[in-house]
Amino acid sequence: MKTWLVDTGPFVSYIDRTDPSHPTVAASLDTFSGQLATTSAVVTEVMHFLSGVVDGPLVFAELLAASETRIVDLTEPAQVGVAARLMRKYADTPMDYADATLVLAAEALGVTDILTLDRRGFSTYRVAKGRAFRLVLS
What does the H/E/C string look like for 65-121?
Answer: HHHCCEEECCCCHHHHHHHHHHHHHCCCCCCCHHHHHHHHHHHHHCCCEEECCCHHH
pLDDT in tens, 66-125: 999 999 999 999 999 999 999 999 999 999 999 999 999 999 999 999 999 999 999 999
For residue 132, the 8-state DSSP code is B
**Which residue segments constitute the domains of the chain, with CATH numbers given?**
3-135 (3.40.50.1010)
Under 8 Å between Cβ of 135 and 114: yes
Sheet with 70-72: list strands edge to edge. 70-72, 35-39, 3-6, 113-115, 134-135
49-72 pLDDT, tens per residue?
Answer: 999 999 999 999 999 999 999 999
- pTM attached to this predicted model: 0.96
